[in-house]
Chains A and B, each alone.
Chain A
Amino acid sequence: LRTDPRIEDLLRELAPQVLGALVRRHGQFDACEDAVQEALLAAALQWADEGVPDSPRAWLTTVATRRLVDEWRSESARRRRQETEAVLELPGQARPADQDDTLTLLFLCCHPSLSVPSQLALTLRAVGGLTTAEIARAFLVPEVTLAQRISRAKQSIKSTGIRFDLPPQPERADRLRVVLQVLYLVFNEGYTTSSGPAVHRADLTNEAIRLARMLLQLVPGDGEVAGLLALMLLTDARRAARTKPDGSLVPLAEQQRELWNTAQIEEGVALVTRTLGKVPIGPYQLQAAIAAVHDEAPTAEETDWPQIRALYEVLDRVSPGPVVTLNRAVAVAMVDGPRAGLALLGTLDTDERMARTHRLEAVRGHLLELAGDLVAARASYQRAARMTASLPEQRYLALRAARLG
């Protein structure tokens, strides 16, 4: 439906601003969200024919407000009187863009009381301006399922009486972490290549990057927001080199680095450089810094592993966990030899949190192979292949094992 990419970009940028303004004015997030979606569709059709109006934001606000009024008119007379009075003063005179409204909207869509799938769907629709059909395609679920998910999330916001306000300062940092987590999950979802039309999945990574960019404009001082954006850019920069045309995975060490997106790497590195050491350090910044060290190495052999190891040691202090230990073991192996890495991995054997993931065995297989213990490496790869929930990764691990057979 939306054909002109410039119009689409503009609409998606304006969507959260218009919705934020409407909700700020009238409350009723669910009704406002429906009205804005309708206004976006109307704009996509009309602007393609007649051109973009002088004040596109005011145009959208006016049309969305009219939809709201129409909706209210169809409700009870008592209600109609009340609400119409409230609306009459508005059309065409939207106040200047209030950037905080977009941020408030993001906090609302990522409210901790909503389930994770609901947070993702609602964020993409209300803040990202995607249609239900587009989101459903991206998540490979029927459109009606996704529509239900969104309507339930809205219902839940309504019934729990969540207010359209920025979270109070004491909890804002925690709430921001949830927002970052949601954006990271959207990004990761786009990274899945196991099934479905790859083009839609790639759209999700682009959308996550776009939303993270927007968020950074709203909270420029937050190092973790910059860190997440940098991490996404530096990871996504390797997209073209990461899979072969047949869909099989290429590990970092074997990727054709000339296929990496240098513009994205430069932007990511600049973000990391700008924030590191100036703001309190957090896990996204550190992971971005590690990704930057990888991306800056001209060849796999020239990777600065001592620096990566040092960064993992900091990450281990800031945000300890088994996955950090796992990655640190790889860095230790590259600096001090595979046996040192395997010794560190051994500390995870009794960790309940690792019992159900394939990653421990996948990394162990890799380090055992480096150590020359091919029989044990093969067994580890095979165990990992049985445990992964990613189809391309299962094939990759099976291939690694078969190679050693």
Chain B
Amino acid sequence: MKYMIMMFGDAATMMEQQPKEWIAEMMQFMHTLNDDLSRSGELVDAQGLTDGSQAKTVRFKNGIPVATDGPFAESKESLIGYWIVDVDAEARAIEIASRVVAFIGPAGAPPVEVRQIMAAPPEI
């Protein structure tokens, strides 16, 4: 079963408020986590997104789609990165997400969301 583990928030602000030791530890943490998931044969994909300030939002305006600068969601709510993992059960995806939260939570990061990817066989 594949799950997407999504990290929200504003990475830039979080890092501006943290000491350099924390930033170094965070980099090491992410590296180790990806390494572990890759070695366990569970990592499908992991990506980070550019800062929310770089986003473009496309809206339907006056009958046509129009692109404007900036994010749709507030930066503290926008997606900043994700992991896709292929695991035995939901509990394992939650365990991985908990590892992330245990690290970034104390720095004030918002919760992490775990969603199953639609890939189950249909039962009709």
List the interface of chain A (C-beta within 8 A of B): 115-118, 121, 139-142, 144-152, 188-189, 191-195, 249, 251-252, 359, 362, 388-394, 396
- Of A147, A149, A362, which is in contact with the most chain B CB atoms at under 10 Å from its CB? A149
| B41–A152 CB distance below 8 A | yes
Closest Cβ neighbor of A193 among chain B residues: B122
Interface residues of B in 13-49 (CB under 8 A from A): 38-45
List the interface of chain B (C-beta within 8 A of A): 1-2, 38-45, 86-88, 116-124
Closest Cβ neighbor of A251 among chain B residues: B124
| B124–A393 CB distance below 8 A | yes
Closest Cβ neighbor of B116 among chain A residues: A389
Complex-state Cα separation, A192 to B121, whole angstroms: 4
Kindly identify which residue among A145, A147, A189 contacts B121, using a CB–CB cutoff of 8 Å. A189
In the assembled complex, the CB of B96 is this many whole angstroms from the nearest CB of chain A, namely 14
| B122–A117 CB distance below 8 A | no
Q: Which residues of A contact B1 (CB under 8 A)?
A: 389
| A389–B38 CB distance below 8 A | no
In the assembled complex, the CB of B124 is this many whole angstroms from the nearest CB of chain A, namely 5
Q: Which residues of A contact B44 (CB under 8 A)?
A: 140-142, 145
Q: Given A145-B86, A148-B40 in contact, is the A140-B124 Cβ separation under 8 Å?
A: no
| A140–B38 CB distance below 8 A | no
Interface of chain B, helix or strand or loop or mixed? loop
Q: Which residues of B contact A150 (CB under 8 A)?
A: 41
In the assembled complex, the CB of B82 is this many whole angstroms from the nearest CB of chain A, namely 15
| A145–B120 CB distance below 8 A | no
Closest Cβ neighbor of B87 among chain A residues: A117
| A145–B124 CB distance below 8 A | no
Q: List 27 A-B contacts (CB under 8 A).
A: A121-B41, A140-B2, A140-B119, A141-B44, A142-B45, A144-B38, A145-B38, A145-B43, A148-B41, A149-B40, A152-B39, A189-B121, A191-B122, A192-B119, A192-B120, A249-B122, A251-B124, A362-B124, A389-B1, A389-B117, A389-B119, A389-B120, A390-B122, A391-B118, A392-B122, A393-B120, A394-B118
Complex-state Cα separation, A394 to B120, whole angstroms: 11
Kindly identify which residue among B45, B116, B119, B124 contacts A195, using a CB–CB cutoff of 8 Å. B119
| B124–A396 CB distance below 8 A | yes
Complex-state Cα separation, A184 to B44, whole angstroms: 23
